[in-house]
């Protein structure tokens, strides 16, 4: 047989190896259609073409195959890891893939200094210390950090700030820190507070409370009533926290994963339990092509979800993923210990699994209702613009600057009517006349669509430009110069009064603007996309201005060169901390004389 593209799979399969590896199927344009793994490449790839699959999704994909590439791996585990990496990179149309692949936050109690700090952490776990998590959201980390500071008064300041204090900061005044920076607590007593915090985070609440009760009774017997009262308050706070927290009997670390597909929507709910404490849940809506089996979707999700995070020893999981033995073995090798899939559990864990299923059902119902609303808006947009099909891939560009200076362009991407924030991009504009918005737009579009042309970014069905006919003309010319075709352009300009609901829409070739009713679902979607592009551009520009201001705060100090500026920033942690420092603190910095310290101090306080 041959595919519709003329590709002869039989000839290709004959020369394939029987070793493990990863295969990639391409269409005639060179776009990756599908990435798969195999214990035996020859057997797996040939199975696609030996007989009809009976699966409409697979048949449609095979008709488009123009080429296949394979990568041989040493082990099956390496094949699984490479498959997940390639799916994450290429996001093939016929694969299940995570839309949100952002790393999860952790809480870190540092272990590389005498007085550890409790901090929010995201990324590689290179620093020495105790890591707790992953937490399902930044808010959950901040809440836990706040609890630890209230109960145990651990510091959260930067080391450079800590090492240069001569008096306690505000955290001490509001009773959220014991001021180890100025010696108000011994290293031994502070270490005890750190130990108590770690016990709490590890779920050993009862053990911690029992020990604190013993300490309180001992202090009372020794007539140290102040210490006893302090311990009594801490015990009461811990018991309140215990009553408010959801805990799992038997402690332990595990995740609960439940998945379902309904009405074309795929959903996965993940509950994170560490030290017997429920850290919360998070919902995911993976891209799952039509006809995907739930077990296959779960397998793809687990493989990608734990690609860059260490799995716990147990996964309570429903349904069991396809290739579960292979997947469990791969996760075990990555974790350096056994990782077990448990689709059937009893007792309290069964109730947790049932609760997660209920959460999944509720999440899926809400998403289906939301999807119906989005589909209505997309259909209305297609109708308003005269498009044959709803635009599933949309991008919008906006320019932000301050009186022409420091121009920044934003590009936001909406897929299926929803923002895909991982695809957002910002462009710092340079080499143009200040205030030339047309040149700024041309530069941003050129940089973005060169990536589109090379296949590094998707081609949008609809490109929105924040601006009127002039900006639209620039966009049209830029895309034509790059040889980009098949993109519907739309200029979005504010009306005469610049009030929402009075936007003027410009299509290429039309002199008169298109004005939609204020209650039009199509207009609401356009406004949402335009406002998101504007918000993203403003945020980028604000950050750029902040960096410029931070740098200039020290640039104007006479006689202070770049090396000493860098030393000050490293020591104090930032220009604002330098501005708050006293002369004596400044003079302790290597390379800063007493005279220069006075000059720096005068510079900030003269301009305050």
pLDDT in tens, 187-227: 998 998 898 888 877 766 677 777 778 878 887 887 878 77
Q: Which of 225, 244, 263 is the last residue of a domain?
A: 244
CB 24 within 8 A of CB 31: no
Least confident range from 71-85, 126-140, 364-378: namely 126-140
What is the pLDDT of the chain when averaged over all its residues? Answer: 85
CATH code of 583's domain? 1.10.150.20
- Residue at token pair 């690609």: 307
> Does residue 289 contact residue 261 with C-beta atoms inside 8 Å?
no
What SS3 class is residue 201?
A: helix
Q: Which pLDDT score is estimated for 205?
A: 66
**Cα-flanking dihedrals φ and ψ of residue 323, to 5°?**
55, 40
Largest Cα span, the chain: 92
Average pLDDT on 357-380 reads 88
- For residue range 523-539, list pLDDT tens digits in order: 999 999 999 999 898 88
pLDDT tens digits, 109-141: 898 889 999 989 887 778 888 888 778 778 878
- Phi-psi sector, 428: left (phi>0), alpha (psi -120 to 50), beta: beta
Helix, coil or strand: residue 206: helix
- Give the pLDDT confidence score for residue 261 in this predicted structure: 92
| CB 449 within 8 Å of CB 476 | no
Domain for residue 386, yes or no? no
**Which residue among 350, 366, 382 closes a domain?**
366
Q: How confident is the model at residue 327 (pLDDT cuts 50, 70, 90)?
A: very high
pLDDT of residue 395 exceeding 90: yes
> Which pLDDT score is estimated for 7?
81
Determine the Cα–Cα distance for residues 396 and 464; give it in Å rounded to an integer. Answer: 4
- Scanning the structure block, which residue is given the tokens 């309904």? 262
Position 266 scores a pLDDT of 92
Averaged pLDDT, 464-493: 93
427 and 532 fall within a common domain: yes
Residue 149 has pLDDT above 80, yes or no: yes
Chain center to CA of 447: 24
**To the nearest whole percent, how much of the chain has pLDDT over 90?**
32
Gap between the Cα atoms of 1 and 8, Å rounded = 7
User: Is the model's pLDDT at 245 over the cut of 60?
Assistant: no
Residue 101 in this model has a pLDDT that exceeds 80: no
Give the domain extent around 220: 108-244
Based on the structure, what is the number of domains in the chain? 5
- Summarize the confidence of residues 448-467 as an average pLDDT: 91
The CATH number that applies at residue 501 is 3.30.420.340
pLDDT > 70? residue 497: no
Residue 371 tokens, joined: 């999807």
**What does the pLDDT read at residue 296?**
93
CA distance linking residue 514 with residue 511, whole number of Å = 9
- The pLDDT assigned to 525 comes to 93
Answer yes or no: do 418 and 541 share one domain: yes
End-of-domain residue from the set 521, 546, 571? 546
- Note the pLDDT of residue 523: 92
> In the prediction, which pLDDT does 203 show?
67
Residue 235 lies in a domain: yes
Strand 340-342 with 405-415, pairing:
unpaired
Q: What is the pTM of this model?
A: 0.61
Query: Measured between alpha carbons, how far is 385 from 600 in angstroms, rounded to an integer?
Result: 60
- The total of other beta-carbon atoms located within 10 Å of residue 436's CB is 16
Q: Are residues 505 and 561 in the same domain?
A: no
Q: Any residues with CB less than 8 A from the CB of 159 and at least 6 apart, and which?
A: 113, 117
Q: Is residue 530 part of a domain?
A: yes
Is residue 543 very low, low, confident or very high in pLDDT (cuts 50, 70, 90)? Answer: low
Spatial CA neighbour of 137 closest among 150, 122, 149: 122
Whether residue 78 is found in the same domain as residue 112: no
- What per-residue confidence (pLDDT) applies to 608? 34
**Is residue 5 scored above 80 in pLDDT?**
no
Evaluate whether 386 touches 418 at the Cβ level (below 8 Å).
no
551: Cβ contacts below 8 Å, ≥ 6 apart: 575
Confidence of residue 244 (pLDDT cuts 50, 70, 90): very low
Q: Are residues 409 and 467 in the same domain?
A: yes
Residue 112 domain flag? yes
- Which DSSP string corresponds to 118-176? EEEEES---SSEEEE---SSHHHHHHHHHHHHHHH--B-S-HHHHHT-SS--HHHHTTS
Residue 374 inside a domain? The answer is no
Tokens of 551: 């740098």
Cβ 465 vs Cβ 537: under 8 Å: no
Band of residue 2 on the pLDDT scale cut at 50, 70, 90:
low
Q: Do both 237 and 308 map to the same domain?
A: no
- Sorted by sequence, the CB contacts under 8 Å of residue 93 that are 6+ apart come out as 31, 33, 34, 61, 289
Same domain assignment for residues 201 and 148: yes
Q: Residue 349 — very low, low, confident or very high, per pLDDT cuts 50/70/90?
A: confident
Write down the pLDDT at residue 607: 41
The residues that bridge with 1 in the sheet, in sequence order, are: none
Percent of the chain whose pLDDT exceeds 70: 90
What is the rounded CA–CA span in Å between residue 125 and residue 106?
A: 9
pLDDT for 551 equals: 52
Same domain, 469 and 585: no
Euclidean distance between CA atoms 266 and 596, whole angstroms: 63
Q: Are residues 26 and 159 in the same domain?
A: no
pLDDT at 414 over 90: yes
User: Do 334 and 465 have their domain in common?
Assistant: no
pLDDT for the residue 389: 93
Query: For the domain that residue 43 is a member of, what is the CATH number?
Result: 3.40.1440.10
User: Is 100 inside a domain boundary?
Assistant: no
130 and 197 in a single domain? The answer is yes
Co-location of 350 and 434 in the same domain:
no
Residue 375 forms part of a structural domain: no
- Token pair of 590 as six digits: 């290597």
Residue 396 has pLDDT above 90, yes or no: yes
Residue with tokens 């593209």: 5
Is 102 contained in some domain?
Answer: no
Residue 451 has pLDDT above 50, yes or no: yes
Q: Reading across the β-sheet that carries 277-284, which strands appear in turn? A: 277-284, 265-274, 254-262, 314-318, 340-342
């Amino acid at each position: 047989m041959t595919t519709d593209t003329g590709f002869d799979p039989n000839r290709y399969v004959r020369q394939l190896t029987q070793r493990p590896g990863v295969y990639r199927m391409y269409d005639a344009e060179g776009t990756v259609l599908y990435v798969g793994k195999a214990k035996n490449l020859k057997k797996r790839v040939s199975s696609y073409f030996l007989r009809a699959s009976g699966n409409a999704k697979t048949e449609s994909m095979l008709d488009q195959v123009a080429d296949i590439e394979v990568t041989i791996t040493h082990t099956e585990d390496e094949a699984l890891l490479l498959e997940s990496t390639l799916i994450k990179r290429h996001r093939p149309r016929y694969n299940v893939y995570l839309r949100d692949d952002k790393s999860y936050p952790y809480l870190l109690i540092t272990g590389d200094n005498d007085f550890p700090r409790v901090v929010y952490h995201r990324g590689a776990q290179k620093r020495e210390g105790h890591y707790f998590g992953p937490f399902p959201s930044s808010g959950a980390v901040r809440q836990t950090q706040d609890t630890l500071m209230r109960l145990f008064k651990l510091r959260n300041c930067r080391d450079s700030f800590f090492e240069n204090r001569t008096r306690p900061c505000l955290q001490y005044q509001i009773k959220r820190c014991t001021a180890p920076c100025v010696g108000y607590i011994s290293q031994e007593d502070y270490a005890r507070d750190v130990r108590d915090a770690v016990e709490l985070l590890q779920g050993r609440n009862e053990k911690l409370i029992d020990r604190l009760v013993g300490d309180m009774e001992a202090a009372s017997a020794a007539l140290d009533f102040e210490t006893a009262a302090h311990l009594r308050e801490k015990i009461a706070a811990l018991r309140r926290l215990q009553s408010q927290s959801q805990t799992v009997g038997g402690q332990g670390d595990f995740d609960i994963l439940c998945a379902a597909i309904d009405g074309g929507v795929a959903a996965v709910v993940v509950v994170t339990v560490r030290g017997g404490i429920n850290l919360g849940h998070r919902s995911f809506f993976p891209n799952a092509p039509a006809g995907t089996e739930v077990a296959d979707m779960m397998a793809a999700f687990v493989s990608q979800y734990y690609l860059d995070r260490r799995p716990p020893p147990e996964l309570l999981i429903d349904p069991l993923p396809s290739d579960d033995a292979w997947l469990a073995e791969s996760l075990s090798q990555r974790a350096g210990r056994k990782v077990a899939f448990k689709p059937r559990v009893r007792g309290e864990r069964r109730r947790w699994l049932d609760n997660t299923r209920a959460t999944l059902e509720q999440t899926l119902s809400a998403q289906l209702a939301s999807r119906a609303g989005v589909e209505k808006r997309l259909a209305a947009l297609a109708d308003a613009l005269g498009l044959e099909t709803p635009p599933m891939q949309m991008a919008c560009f906006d320019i932000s600057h301050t009186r022409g200076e420091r121009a920044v362009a934003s590009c936001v991407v909406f897929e299926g009517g929803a923002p895909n924030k991982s695809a957002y991009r910002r462009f710092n504009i340079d080499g143009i006349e200040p205030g030339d918005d047309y040149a700024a737009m041309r530069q941003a579009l050129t940089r973005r669509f060169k990536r589109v042309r090379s296949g590094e970014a998707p081609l949008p069905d609809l490109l929105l430009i924040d601006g009127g006919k002039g900006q639209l003309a620039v966009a049209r010319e830029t895309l034509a110069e790059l040889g980009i075709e098949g993109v519907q352009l739309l200029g979005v300009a504010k009306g005469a009064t610049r009030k929402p609901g009075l936007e003027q829409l410009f299509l290429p070739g039309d002199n008169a603007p298109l004005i939609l009713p204020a209650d039009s679902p199509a207009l609401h979607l356009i406004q949402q996309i335009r406002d998101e592009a504007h918000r993203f551009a403003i945020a980028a520009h604000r950050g750029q201005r902040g960096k410029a201001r931070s740098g200039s705060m020290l640039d104007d100090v006479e006689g202070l060169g770049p090396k000493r500026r860098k030393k000050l920033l490293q020591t104090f942690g930032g220009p604002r901390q330098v501005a708050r420092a006293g002369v004596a603190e400044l003079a302790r910095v290597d390379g800063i004389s007493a005279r220069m310290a006075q000059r720096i101090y005068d510079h900030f306080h003269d301009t305050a």
